[in-house]
Every structure is written in structure tokens, then in C-alpha cells.
Structure 1
Amino acid sequence: MDRLVFLNIIAAIGVSVSLLLAFFLLSVKTGNKQANRLFATFLILTAVDLGGFFIYDFIISNLDLEIFRWTTCLLIMPLFYLYALSICYSDFQLKPKHLLHTIPFIVVNLVLTPRFYLATGIDKELIFEIHRRMPELYFFRILIEVQYLFYIISVLLVLKKYREIYLENYANASTSTYKWLLQMTIAFLVSHVFVVSKNLLRYTTYSDLFLSANVLVGIIALCITFWFVLKALNYPELFRGIDSKLELTKDILPKANLNLTESKNSQDPVINSQIETLKKYMANEEPYLDPSLSIQQLSNQINMPVRDLSVLINHHMNQHFFDFVNEYRIQKAMGILKNKTKNSLTILEILYEVGFNSKSSFNTSFKKYTDLTPTAYRNS
């Protein structure tokens, strides 16, 4: 089969799947409609970008529309960044300030206006033939790469903060949001490296491989799109956002008193009393058996302000809330596994009984504390 025909088929499939997934996201019932709408718009623009592979005849008669289509790629990464914010933070709302993310798109279209949009007749067709050597397009390509790098780094920073806040405030072992976004970011980065490498072939002695590289890029894009579909179908309620107003302990503690607090930690009778009271409550009342336990819920139960409890656990006890709670769950599980009268309980039954909600999370945490798998510990 001719490579161009094969590329057109791949692109057509990719566009169709992207649009179907966008429709699914817009129509599915979910608590986070804003995130779905952002991701659906992201997929629609991705489909527009892929569509350039197989609408050549239409392009020739609509050069202005084709030039505009090129520039829409500058909206894709901002949408992904806003999507990341919307699923990481449950209280995220789109605001007028987010329109600032469209500035590169607007600037490029203004730069292209004099010699591209305003050109007429044969001049426009000539420009379309030689556009790759025009300074406006060089500026466009450089801006794309700078923007892409900026948003990749921005999303990674959002994920870093999200993970730190999650570990300090939640005991649910599920990290689906973090993993999903991290996987997406890596997939985008890898695919973009392929696209850049493909585009560079035009300026080398291997320019004849450009079409073959386009086929490879099309296949990668199609695979990523199908992966999105599988994720969306299997996990329509995938994410649990956190409150953006939550602060990290290092931000709560007055920086001026941080070293003083650390040095007095072991000798402060008030702090030691609070720690003992907390440990006694955890041992006697077993709040950790609730899989969705958060630091806010625990603070309500022991009548301690959540900021004070966060500092107590994450700073004075030098543990993330996540690890603090899971340590009690593992100790409970170890007791059950050592109890010969409970040998009939399966590992799955035990992990649910002690407050975990996934086998992989339970196994990872158990091995972290004991250097053994639950099964190996029971056998030993």
C-alpha cells in the first residue's frame, strides 16, 4: 500500500476515535464536567491537527483556513495544563485570567496576517509553496517548542505539588490522578520528540524518509488516542481532586521559627503529649480502618485544628499523613496474618478489612514496612 494512502487511513482513524472520545466525555455523567469539557476540547483540537494529513484537496482551495489550522496547535498544551489543574484540584474554576494562555496563539496569527492572511491570488499560492523558508514560520516553530517545554514543566510542577499535598492530607492509597497525568505527560513528551525529529528530516539528506516518519508519528498518535479511550471507558470516575487551599506543612510553619521548632521538638512536653494522645486514639479507636480517611476527618475526630495536626504529623513526627495512617493498617494486617485462627482469610479480604482499597497499594506498603510480601510474611 502506498505510504501516503496508509498515512491518510491512520490519520482518518485517529481523528474519528478522537472525536468519538470527545463526544463520550461531553455526554457521560460525571461530577467533574469541567475537566471532561477541557479534555474533550483538547481532543477536538488534536483531531483538527491530525486532519491535515488527509484534507489536502480541501487545503488547496482554503489556504487561510489551513494556515489558521496550523496555529491551533498552540492551544493544545494550554488546554492540557488547565485539564491537569481541573482534575488535581476539586475546586478549580476557569477564570478570565486563564485567557492569558491564548496569547501565543493570538501573537502568531497577528505575525502571519501581513504576508499570509492578507496575500491574495497567485501570491498566496506562492507563499504556501515557500512558507517553510519564511521567517514568520521559523518564529512559529520556535514558539511551539518553547511553549511545549514550558507547559510540560508546568504540568510536572503541578503534579509534584499535588502528590506532596495528597501524601500530607489523605490516607487513601489510590494515586490514579497522579499516575494518569504523569503517564499522559510522558506520552506527550515522547511523541513530541518523534514529531520534532520527523520535522528535522526535511532539512537533512534523509528528507526522503519524511513521509515514512509521518506514518510512524501517525501510528504513535493513534496508539495514544486508543489508550485515552480505554482509560475513559474503564475509569469514567477516575479522579479524586484535592482542595487547592490546602497548604504544605513547610508553608504552614513560620520559616523564622522552623529550626527552633525542630531543635525543641524532642523536649517539648506539649508536643510529646499531643503525639501520645494521637497514638492512643489511633490504637484504640482505629480510624484508619476507613479507606477514605483524610487529615481533615481525623482532626475533627480528635478536636484538633487541621493545621496543627498537619504540623504535628508531617513535621514533628516526620511522617507524611499517608505513611502515618498506613503504618497502623500494616500493623493491623500483620496481626491478622500471624493469627492462625484467621488463616482462612484471603489477602484480599485482609487488605479491605484494615482499610486498604487496592491489592497493589497494600502489597507495596506491606513490603515497605516488612521487606516481605503479605503471603511470604504469613508463611514465615
Structure 2
Amino acid sequence: MNFTQIMQLILVGGALQGILLAVLLFTRKTNQLANRLLGAFIFLVSIQSILVAFDTREFFITLPHLSKIGWLNPLFFGPLLYLFTRKITSRAPRFRRTDLIHFIPAIVTFIYLLPYYLQSTAEKIAYLNDFETARKDDFGLLGQATLFQILFYLVYSLKALYRYEKKILDTFSELEKIRLQWLKQFIYAILSIFFVAAIAFYAKKWYVPVLTEIYHYHLHYLMMVALVYWIGYKALAQPQVFVNRPVLPASFPNQVSTYDQKAPISSSNDAPLPTQSPHADNLETTQESVPKYQKSSLKSEESQNYLNRLLDYMEAEKPYRQSNITIQDLAALLQIPKHHLSQIINNKLDKNFYDFINQYRVAEAQLLLVDPKFKHLTNLAIAEEAGFNSKATFNAVFKKQTGQTPSEYVRSQAQNVRT
């Protein structure tokens, strides 16, 4: 078996796995639209990998009706990825007719290529035998426009993902089940493959020495096949990633409170209150960010009143000990409009909701960790008492805010007592 055959085996093997994964995604009964968009993306990438595996003039002369199919497929990659990202990061409705606008480049290209697709076998073989003309077309304006179209949609997919991340940080105090790290890794991996593909394309177009080998050995598609294998692994190891959408409230981002507005979260008398609010030094000094809230009706005096109510309530009632509390829940408990509460936390305290709540949780955990009454509890139990949902989140947030792990903090406090 020579090198070319090994390459073909890798590309085709990855493509077949991709097709199988696409079929599984299409047949899922839950989260159908998102799964089908991702399935369509993986299916078309897999078909393209097969075409690339046999990308020789001899192959297309043998099967001329497959030629130029590879010109059309990549124009679907960007729109499918963007629509999938938008769907999984929002409460977007089902596929809308206006979404078809994203496929206009593919439709226009199909119409442009239709006369070629309708040509006879002999006509296509004659064209393919004219090597210089075929090569010039392969690396012409259409190929370059396709690259820019994919880049455009990759950037927009990342923007949609970052908007989602900002929104959940301003809305939730626990992110473990809704943070889409795998999607960020997926998009950045595709972005990396895109840059390799762009280098390969222009190196081949302009006869750049050495770099032309990237195109010759189809490095970008080998990377894509590796990505398909990674997706397959994720589907086996973490099937919930592809089966279910993030667990968001039904009306995200404007969801209704899940707590009874008239029933405040009960405080615990077991743990001592912090001697000072974690934000006490920021009450009057933080300047408000004008652009985001310039149309807000919240007056300065009312803002300060709301802030005082918020901080008093946090210390007295400890709502942060509810692990899944959201900004809507806290706003309902305080009887403050949610958008005003968000404005106060963002501008007056210069924090998002996630960091605001978790700063209190860390302060609570610091007290519990060194309190003899809680010495019998594990770090996980302490974390849950303070409002954290998992040990991993607790350790990460604690280390970020204090510069120490919980265990290191306990040891350092013990040393301070001895000295």
C-alpha cells in the first residue's frame, strides 16, 4: 500500500464515520433542528472528504458527473454552522423562510454551474482533459469567494457564541450545564482548518514552493477528518452534548422566575454572616458605563437605594446559597425590575451576575472552611453549603478569586493561627 492509498483510506474512513454520525443526528427525536443542522454539516464535509480523497484527473474522467460537485458543497458549510450555533445558543424559533437567505450564494452558484452539470459525459471529459483551463477554473474567483464566505460565517458563529456566553454570565449563577465549551472548541478548530485551507489554496494557485505540499497532501481535510473523529468521540463519551440543547429556562433570555416572589429564600443560621460585604468598597466609586444603559430610566438616587437593598439582602438572607438562582429570581425576591438589577450589578459593582453571586459563595466557603463546627464536612459538602453545584466549579471559582485552592486556603489559615 503506497502513501496515496493510505491517505485515501484515512480520508474515506473518517468520511464514513461522519456519514454514520450524520445519520444518527438526523434520526434523533430530541432537539431535532439543531441536530439536523449539525448532521447536514457533517454529512457534506464527509462527502467533500471523499471527493478530495480521489481528487485526481483520472478519477473524475472515470466519473465525470462527480466533477465540480466539490465546488458547491463548501458553500453550505458556513450557513449550516452559523444556523446551528444560533439555534443552540438561543431560543430561536424553528427554521424560518428568512433563513434561506443564507443559502443564496449556494443557490446562485448552483444556477451558474447547472449548464456544466447538464453537459454530456463526453463534454465533461473534454473539459477535464484541458488541464490548464480546468486548473484555472479550480482556483478562480469562485474558489476565493467561497473562502471568504466561510470566514464570514465562522466570525458570525463566534459572535453568536460570545453573545450567549455574556448573556449567561449576566443571568445565571451556575454554568456547568449551559456552558458550551465543546462548541467553542469546535468552531475554533474549524477556524484553524480554514486558515490551513486558505494557505493551501493560494499556495497552489500561485505555485508557492513547499506550501503547495499542504494542498497536495490534503492536510486541511486530514484535519477535518480528525475533527470528525473528535465529534464521534464526543458523541460516545458525552452523548448529551449532541442529544440535548443547553438546559435554559423556557423564555431565555427573558425567562420568568422559578421562585415564588413572595417566598424569600430562607437563610441559614448555622454559618456566621460575613463581617463586611465583598463589595463594600465599590458602593460609590464605580462609574456607570453610559453606552449600554444610556436609555435606562433608573435615576441615580433610586439606583443607590436599590444597591443598598441588594447588599443588605445578600448578607441577611444569603440567596446565593440557592445553587441555581438566576438574576430573575433575585430580582423577584427584591421586587426590583430585572433590567435595573442587572444595571446595578454591572455598573455599580462592575461585575456580571455570575461573578457577583460567586464572590459571596467564596466568602461564605472561606468562613465555613475554617469554622470548627464544620470541620467534619468535606470540601464538596462545604461547596454545596455555600451554594456551589459541583466541586470542580467550586475549586475553579475559589482559585480564581483567592489565588488558592480550598485546601491551600485551609492550610494557610492554620499556619496563621499557629504564628
TM-score range, shorter chain: 0.7 to 0.9
Aligned residue for 1:356, secondary structure, equals: coil
Distance 1:369 1:208, change over 3 A: closer
Instruction: Look up the equivalent residue of 2:26 and give its one-letter code.
Output: L
Matches within 5 A, 1:92-241: 92-114=93-115, 116-129=116-129, 130=131, 131-135=133-137, 138-174=140-176, 177-202=179-204, 203-206=207-210, 209=213, 213-214=217-218, 216-238=219-241, 239-241=246-248
Greater shift in the superposed pair: 238-247 or 220-229: 238-247
Matches within 5 A, 1:296-315: 296-315=328-347
Give the share of equivalent positions with the same residue, in percent. Answer: 28
Distance (whole Å) between structure 1 residues aligned to residue 347 and residue 356 of structure 2: 12
Distance 1:302 1:144, change over 3 A: same
**Match of residue 23 from structure 2:** 23
Distance 1:3 1:211, change over 3 A: farther
Matches within 5 A, 1:303-342: 303-342=335-374
> Is contact 2:173-2:324 (8 Å) kept?
yes
Distance (whole Å) between structure 2 residues aligned to residue 189 and residue 285 of structure 1: 47
**Match of residue 258 from structure 2:** none
Higher helix fraction: Structure 1 or Structure 2? 1
Distance (whole Å) between structure 2 residues aligned to residue 136 and residue 5 of structure 1: 23
2:48 is the counterpart of 1:41: no
Structure 1: gaps spanning 5 or more residues:
none
Distance (whole Å) between structure 2 residues aligned to residue 44 and residue 180 of structure 1: 19
Instruction: Look up the equivalent residue of 1:47 and give its one-letter code.
Output: S
Distance 1:329 1:94, change over 3 A: same
Distance (whole Å) between structure 2 residues aligned to residue 137 and residue 106 of structure 1: 20
**TM-score (norm: length of structure 2):** 0.78
Greater shift in the superposed pair: 36-45 or 219-228: 219-228
Offset of 1:24 from its aligned partner? 2.8
Distance 1:46 1:208, change over 3 A: closer
Distance (whole Å) between structure 2 residues aligned to residue 289 and residue 165 of structure 1: 22
Offset of 1:276 from its aligned partner? 2.2
Offset of 1:272 from its aligned partner? 2.6
Distance 1:118 1:226, change over 3 A: closer
> Is contact 2:77-2:150 (8 Å) kept?
no
**Match of residue 281 from structure 2:** none
Distance (whole Å) between structure 2 residues aligned to residue 351 and residue 132 of structure 1: 65
Query: Which string of whole-angstrom CA distances, capped at 9 and with x for unpartnered residues, describes residues 280-316 of structure 1?
Result: 3222332222222211122222222222222222223
Distance 1:241 1:191, change over 3 A: farther
Structure 2: gaps spanning 5 or more residues:
256-288, 413-419
**Match of residue 11 from structure 2:** 11
Offset of 1:101 from its aligned partner? 0.9
Matches within 5 A, 1:248-263: 253-255=293-295
> Is contact 2:19-2:46 (8 Å) kept?
yes
> Is contact 2:167-2:253 (8 Å) kept?
no
2:74 is the counterpart of 1:73: yes
Query: Which string of whole-angstrom CA distances, capped at 9 and with x for unpartnered residues, describes residues 29-70 of structure 1?
Result: 54x222111111111111111111456787445434432343
**TM-score (norm: length of structure 1):** 0.86
Query: Which string of whole-angstrom CA distances, capped at 9 and with x for unpartnered residues, describes residues 217-263 of structure 1?
Result: 4432232112112222333333335756559x9777234x79xx7xx
Offset of 1:120 from its aligned partner? 3.4
Distance 1:290 1:196, change over 3 A: same
**Match of residue 280 from structure 2:** none
Instruction: Look up the equivalent residue of 1:109 and give its one-letter code.
Output: F
> Is contact 2:320-2:361 (8 Å) kept?
yes
Distance 1:275 1:205, change over 3 A: closer
Distance (whole Å) between structure 2 residues aligned to residue 4 and residue 328 of structure 1: 60
Distance 1:277 1:102, change over 3 A: same
Distance 1:208 1:195, change over 3 A: closer
Greater shift in the superposed pair: 351-360 or 96-105: 351-360
Distance (whole Å) between structure 2 residues aligned to residue 327 and residue 187 of structure 1: 33
The answer to which structure, 1 or 2, has the higher relative contact order (CA under 8 A, 6+ apart) is 1
Aligned residue for 1:52, secondary structure, equals: helix
The alignment covers a number of residue pairs equal to 368
Distance (whole Å) between structure 1 residues aligned to residue 290 and residue 185 of structure 2: 28
Aligned residue for 2:323, secondary structure, equals: coil
2:400 is the counterpart of 1:368: yes
Distance (whole Å) between structure 2 residues aligned to residue 63 and residue 207 of structure 1: 29
Aligned residue for 2:67, secondary structure, equals: helix
> Is contact 1:7-1:53 (8 Å) kept?
no
Query: Which string of whole-angstrom CA distances, capped at 9 and with x for unpartnered residues, describes residues 65-91 of structure 1?
Result: 432343111101110101111111134
Deviating above 4 A after TM superposition, structure 1's stretches of 4 or more consecutive aligned residues are 54-59, 205-208, 241-247, 249-252
Distance (whole Å) between structure 2 residues aligned to residue 348 and residue 175 of structure 1: 18
Distance 1:252 1:210, change over 3 A: closer
2:125 is the counterpart of 1:85: no
Offset of 1:324 from its aligned partner? 1.1
Distance 1:198 1:204, change over 3 A: same
Offset of 1:197 from its aligned partner? 2.9
Instruction: Look up the equivalent residue of 1:219 and give its one-letter code.
Output: L
